[in-house]
Structure 1
Amino acid sequence: MAGKKVRTSGVSTLSRAVYERELLRLQIQLVDLQDWVQAEGIRLVVVFEGRDAAGKGGTIKRVAEHLNPRIARIVALSKPTERERTQWYFQRYVEQLPAAGEIVLFDRSWYNRAGVEHVMGFCTKEEHQRFLHQCPIFERMLIEDGILLRKYWFSVSDAVQEERFRKRMTDPTRRWKLSPMDLESYTRWEAYSRAKDEMLVHTDIAEAPWYVVESDDKRRARINMIAHLLASVSYQVTPRPATELPRRPAATGYERSPRDLQTYVPDHSAGLAG
């Protein structure tokens, strides 16, 4: 692995008050980063990878929460179509790359081939080996063309993953997160571990290193990842022009149309306890 390895497991859970205060501070800085990306025509790609239930999705939501969706885009591709299966593997990901002044957050990426496709047998051994050979070349091409690339691997322990899976089974708002593929991955922990290790050996390159995020504590994982992303980009705060709310012109006699001519949403909140 490139750079110093730091493990945070065993650290006490971050309190909600501290977490929310620091998260807001970092999110304000993310808006500054976004303004700089737009003003300077930067292209920023952030890759989020890791095991199922490692906390990638929640972190992506916090990164994008206060950003302009026209500038910062989340890409979470479904399985390839029959036509896409006949294309060069990286082709459909190239179509999602940012133009000048854009940020793309990949909720899983081309690294599917090194993980789920390899472990589940969705690609051949030859296709897997070709990926491991081509991926560093592909990423160097992106960087040589001026794209800023950051890659984060969210690491979760087997015990915490099981706990999160069990919560998804009983939580009606999270059941959709537990797919048959997730259940299958649960039974192939060691196979995924070996696949991850092999992937890191081939793709942890100096130009685009992997950064591991310890994610047994979701709050710490989110804070640590966002703080690292901000520190890794030499962005500048872009001055915003002073703005004032303009004065409305004088009224010209407009009268609102009768309310009974419109259909209103029922006041469901009226029946709730105070």
Structure 2
Amino acid sequence: MARKFFVGGNFKMNGTSESIKKIIKNLNDSKLDSNVEVVIAPPALYLQLAKAEVKQPTVQVSAQNVYDKPDGAFTGEISVSQLADSDIHWTILGHSERRTLLGETDEIVASKTKFAIDGGLSVVWCCGESLAEREAGNTVAVVERQLAALAAKISGADWQKVVIAYEPIWAIGTGKVATVQQAQEAHEAIRNWLKAKVSDDVAEQTRILYGGSVKGDNSKDLAKEKDIDGFLVGGASLKPEFVDIINSNL
């Protein structure tokens, strides 16, 4: 079975009511490839606004983070049940900014992922290496370490709720993009690891996205690669070219 192309838009800590309405209006007014699954992730304050504004049937709304406790004295956090109660069924976890700036370990990200899945959410789970790790030839080792922490927490049908986003940290927001060959090699390594350590079915069915300065003018070439199943887009998701990225296969 062919893997359905997937494009996520991570707004990060950007946007106002007015600008988010404008972004969504552009999506609503555009002809989007109906064979592409799309999620947009505005800041938590605007999740309900985005949910109300989206009219495109292929576009869903995602949180940017969730906590791994059901409720309690965890100031500033959002629970899985609160997202579900708000009819939000996706979350991004393990983004490099959460890992590097906020100290989330592989194990914390894996715990959050398991908690989210158990609560009925689907997860865009992020992995990737730093520039120093890339230059040292450790890309595959770093990503495999991150995957191993995830596999220690989830199993079986849990994998059906996971979309993997490979995001080389050195290419996020820098304007640098992994070459098509570099991106494909990393994606292939991830799929091979899934095949060896999880199962053939999970390796074949799991969608692996590329993220890292994806733009309208490079998405088409990246989308042609056999192991690249879509994109997790940062800055470009705030711009009209996000539509071009969604329509990369047209």
Alignment TM-score > 0.5, same fold: no
Larger radius of gyration: 1
State the TM-score bracket (shorter-chain normalisation). Answer: 0.3 to 0.5
Answer 1 or 2: which has greater strand percent.
2
TM-score (normalised: structure 2): 0.33
TM-score (normalised: structure 1): 0.31
